[in-house]
């Protein structure tokens, strides 16, 4: 670590000897916070950014609904509020967002990005000021997951003058939010402090009554020193700290179809003890220096710690939940215990996990001219380690007259007792050459990873090592990428890109010391952009990903047994089309009246390209054939909105349609849930459409009154069959709120 820090700081020592030529440092935010910044038009690949102004118009606390505005992104709803999103991009699996790179201000945010990436923690979207998405070859700078894409959440920006913001809202199902931030820049010092709380009593109706909601609180602080405007070398040093805590009466268990038909909002009595406790802390020390106009160096050291314990019922009357859901007639006694109608034993498992991420990363960006070319060079390195400390505890309850009573408290670690560790050194080089109307981007990423797995067994609670089994694996991979952008004229741009994508292979298997092979894919995209500044924007992209060794996983959240192991499924092909457009309609006789019209559409075809025997996990067990559809990747996604602005008024009416989604591999006819279909025979979920509405009234310079209506049509169709059983979207809900800007 000492050697790495020396290398990271060495460029700063070197450039400090050169005199600056201009004030190139952006004193408010840097490229280390924004991965797109002001150069989105010249990025070698697909990109999108949702600004603070757009988020303020939408008033949407659910990131799932905001992401559906953008093409190429798959989202699976789970608990209705978007706290634990399941996100995939360009055909990557959606489960727990484990196959995309998730960042906040350019820093990895997955609990253990290499060792155990399933994102049980996801940054609170309601406190964010923006959102960025990268796809295509440009994302190789932001690994380790470089096949689908990268998402960067932008926290509140330190203002250049004193500013304060307050927000309060209340709505259906006890939903409420309180947000307050204040920030200022005074000479060489800046600060920002923010408090955000979002909570609800829940919309699920628990048998026997009870709270099914959540309470999440965030505390953010930023303190920054920046050099004087007259200083010879422009630089700043910023310390950012975040603390998040959450208590949620949340469960993995949904409903069988018959119960869903009777009441989609029901929650079984057997989930009354299910609860998630979460605590998250991260701290980032960031140094930015711009010794002269065309050179910037950004170095960040970070430490992230996340704790979560999600206790859930695992079986009833000796029958697993999936067995009961598959056939509640054959397993009637267990079903009656699950629903509180009969007395019997309940096996309850707590999943206590401590995650740690730490590392240091540095990015150098240099722009220079040679002859007729304008060139940009970016060099980046990151030394990173993460760990997942897993204690799974199994206890016993007795269902008695509809109430669960603890009968046997298990020893911590009697179900799962292991440590997963990863060490990585990542580096990349990216070069851009601009000549007249053409811009060529060439990039290369290198990942060097060491994975260590320690299984202490379920009897060695003190971890003495008497039953320790260990496995390790080392991976080195080179990932090239290239793209070409051609600007025909100021309004029309074409781009072409290709790159090799990568996903880490997960923990090695201690029983046989075998290891899944890293997932790799060659990715291609061809796109066109129309940007008529007056009223029209359009982008069309065709993409293709050729996988050589697709990775599957075994997680309870994805329908598996919960070992967390990854396994290879061989070759696969994902290809599709992304369309997005924006048209600003203005009334000729009333120019202050405007109607922004937005649309996006994604078509994705995802199939296995070879036959293999699947051992379980998210895709079930048995033979999977070449040409079978890859489940949980929706072929057709459509999103549209119509806005309205007039003087102090603004409103947005939006619609999101999710097409029929395959839930098991296959090529046969789609079988959707009906009263006549056994749970295990169902292979698809029917399409559904959700309508939302948001309106704002600017009362005066400081005050804004707003309202949102979620799910206007109260569509309670099935939106997911995972983790365990069918579940609906958030029912129709109304939120009223106030915003104050000072």
The predicted-structure confidence for 344-379, as pLDDT tens digits, reads as follows: 999 999 999 999 999 999 999 999 998 889 999 999
Q: Give CA–CA dist 284/302, Å, rounded.
A: 4
Average pLDDT for 552-563: 69
When pLDDT is averaged across residues 454-478 and rounded to a whole number, the result is 95
Q: Which long-range contacts (CB under 8 A, 24 or more apart) does 546-550 make?
A: 546/521, 546/522, 546/571, 546/573, 547/147, 547/519, 547/520, 547/521, 547/571, 547/572, 547/573, 547/574, 547/609, 548/520, 548/521, 548/522, 549/517, 549/518, 549/519, 549/520, 550/519, 550/608, 550/630
Q: Residue 292: pLDDT band by 50, 70, 90 thresholds?
A: confident
pLDDT value, residue 13: 30
Share of the chain above pLDDT 90, in %: 81
Task: Band the pLDDT of 559: cuts 50, 70, 90.
Answer: low
- pLDDT of 22 above 70: no
Q: How many CA atoms lie within 13 A of 204 on its CB side?
A: 30
**pLDDT score, position 41:** 54
Average pLDDT over residues 55-68: 95
| Least trusted range by pLDDT, from 212-226, 387-401, 666-680 | 666-680
CA distance 535 to 482: 32
Distance (Å, rounded) from C-alpha 130 to C-alpha 732?
A: 26
Answer yes or no: is pLDDT of 23 > 60: no
CATH superfamily, domain 2-741, is TonB-dependent receptor, beta-barrel domain (2.40.170.20)
Of the pLDDT bands very low, low, confident and very high (cuts 50, 70, 90), residue 692 is very high
Task: Give me 41's structure tokens.
Answer: 């038009």
Domain locations along the chain:
2-741
Report the distance separating Cα 294 and Cα 383, nearest Å: 26
pLDDT in tens, 384-442: 999 999 999 999 999 999 999 999 999 999 999 999 999 999 999 999 999 999 999 99
Tokens 């075809």 sit at which residue?
605
> Is 713 within 8 Å of 688 (Cβ atoms)?
no
The whole-number pLDDT of residue 19 equals 30
Predicted local distance difference test score (pLDDT) of residue 563: 67
The residue to which tokens 């025909």 are assigned: 488
d(CA 520, CA 653): 40
Per-residue pLDDT reduced to its tens digit, 483-525: 999 999 989 999 999 999 999 998 988 776 567 899 999 999 9
- What is the predicted pLDDT for the residue at 679? 73
Confidence at 2, pLDDT banded by 50, 70, 90:
very low
Beta-carbon neighbour count of residue 705 at 10 Å?
A: 14
pLDDT of residue 567: 79
Summarised one tens digit per residue, pLDDT across range 24-43 is 333 334 334 677 754 445 56
Measure the CA–CA gap between 666 and 268, rounded to whole angstroms.
31
pLDDT above 50 for 582: yes
Q: Which two tokens stand for residue 378?
A: 């970016």
Q: Is the pLDDT of residue 341 over 70?
A: yes
- The rounded mean pLDDT for the chain is 91
Tokens 């995802």: give the residue: 606
- What pLDDT score does 557 carry? 65
From 537, 551, 561, 538, select the one nearest 475 (Cα to Cα).
551
Range with the poorest average pLDDT among 116-120, 225-229, 396-400, 616-620: 616-620
**C-beta separation of 447 from 144 below 8 A:** yes
The pLDDT value recorded for residue 313 is 97
Q: Characterise 573 by phi-psi region: left (phi > 0), alpha (psi -120 to 50), beta (else).
A: beta
């Amino acid at each position: 670590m000492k050697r790495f820090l020396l290398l990271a700081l060495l460029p700063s020592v070197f450039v400090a000897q050169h005199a600056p030529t201009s004030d190139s440092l952006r004193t408010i935010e840097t490229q280390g916070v924004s991965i797109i910044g002001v150069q989105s038009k010249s990025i070698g690949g697909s990109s999108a950014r949702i600004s603070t102004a757009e988020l303020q118009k939408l008033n949407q606390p659910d990131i799932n609904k905001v992401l559906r505005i953008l093409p190429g992104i798959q989202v699976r709803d789970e608990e209705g509020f978007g706290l634990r999103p399941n996100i995939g991009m360009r055909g990557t699996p959606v489960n727990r967002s484990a196959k995309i790179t998730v960042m906040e201000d350019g820093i990895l945010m997955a609990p253990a990005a290499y060792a155990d990436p399933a994102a049980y923690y996801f940054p609170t979207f309601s406190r964010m000021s923006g959102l960025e998405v990268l796809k295509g070859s440009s994302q190789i700078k932001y690994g380790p997951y470089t096949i689908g894409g990268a998402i960067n959440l932008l926290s509140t920006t330190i203002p250049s003058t004193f500013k304060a913001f307050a927000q309060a809202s209340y709505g259906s199902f006890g939903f409420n939010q309180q947000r307050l931030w204040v920030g200022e820049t005074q000479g060489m010092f800046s600060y920002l402090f923010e408090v955000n709380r979002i909570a609800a009593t829940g919309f699920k109706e628990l048998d026997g009554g009870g709270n099914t909601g959540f309470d999440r609180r965030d505390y953010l602080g930023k303190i920054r020193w920046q050099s004087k405007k007259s200083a010879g070398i422009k630089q700043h040093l910023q310390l950012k700290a975040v603390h998040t805590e959450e208590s949620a009466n949340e469960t993995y268990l949904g409903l069988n179809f018959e119960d869903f038909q009777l009441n989609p909002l029901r929650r079984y009595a057997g989930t009354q003890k299910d609860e998630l406790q979460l605590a998250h802390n991260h701290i980032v020390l960031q140094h930015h220096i711009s010794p002269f106009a065309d050179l910037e160096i950004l170095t960040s050291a970070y430490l992230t710690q996340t704790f979560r314990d999600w206790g859930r019922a695992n079986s009833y009357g000796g029958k697993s939940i999936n067995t009961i859901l598959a056939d509640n007639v054959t397993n009637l006694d267990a079903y009656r215990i699950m629903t509180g109608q009969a007395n019997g034993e309940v096996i309850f498992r707590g999943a206590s996990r401590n995650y740690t991420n730490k590392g240091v990363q540095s990015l150098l960006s240099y722009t220079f001219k040679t002859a007729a070319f304008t060139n940009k060079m970016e060099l980046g390195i990151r030394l990173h380690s993460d760990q997942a400390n897993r204690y799974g505890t199994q206890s016993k309850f007795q269902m008695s007259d509809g109430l669960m009573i603890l009968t046997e408290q298990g020893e911590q670690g009697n179900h799962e007792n292991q440590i997963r560790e990863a060490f990585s050194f990542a580096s990349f080089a990216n070069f851009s050459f601009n000549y007249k109307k053409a811009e060529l981007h060439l990039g290369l990423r290198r990942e060097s990873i060491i994975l260590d797995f320690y299984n202490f067994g379920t009897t060695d609670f003190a971890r003495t090592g008497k039953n320790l089994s260990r496995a390790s694996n080392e991976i080195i991979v080179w990932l090239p990428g290239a793209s070409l952008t051609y600007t025909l004229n100021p309004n029309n741009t074409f781009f072409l890109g290709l790159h090799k994508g990568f996903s880490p292979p997960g923990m090695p298997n201690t029983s046989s010391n075998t290891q899944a092979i890293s997932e790799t894919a060659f990715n291609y995209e061809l796109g066109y952009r129309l940007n008529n500044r007056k009223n029209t924007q359009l982008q069309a992209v065709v993409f293709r990903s050729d996988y050589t060794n697709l990775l599957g996983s075994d997680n309870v959240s994805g329908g598996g047994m919960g070992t967390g192991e990854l396994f290879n499924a061989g070759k696969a092909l994902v290809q599709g089309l992304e369309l997005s457009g924006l048209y600003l309609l203005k009334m000729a006789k009333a120019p202050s009246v405007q109607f922004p019209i937005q649309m996006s559409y994604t078509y994705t075809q995802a199939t296995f390209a070879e036959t293999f025997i699947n051992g379980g996990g998210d895709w079930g067990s048995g033979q999977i054939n070449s040409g079978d559809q890859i489940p949980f990747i929706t072929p057709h996604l459509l999103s549209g909105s119509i806005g309205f602005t007039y003087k102090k008024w603004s409103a947005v009416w939006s619609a999101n349609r999710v097409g029929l989604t395959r839930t098991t591999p296959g090529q046969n006819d789609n079988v959707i849930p009906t009263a006549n279909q056994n749970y295990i025979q169902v292979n698809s979920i029917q399409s559904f459409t959700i309508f939302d509405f948001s309106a704002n009234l600017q009362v005066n310079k400081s005050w804004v009154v707003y309202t949102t209506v979620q799910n206007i049509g109260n569509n309670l169709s099935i939106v997911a069959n995972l983790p365990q059983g069918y579940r609906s979207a958030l029912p129709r809900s109304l939120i009223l709120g106030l915003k104050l800007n000072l």
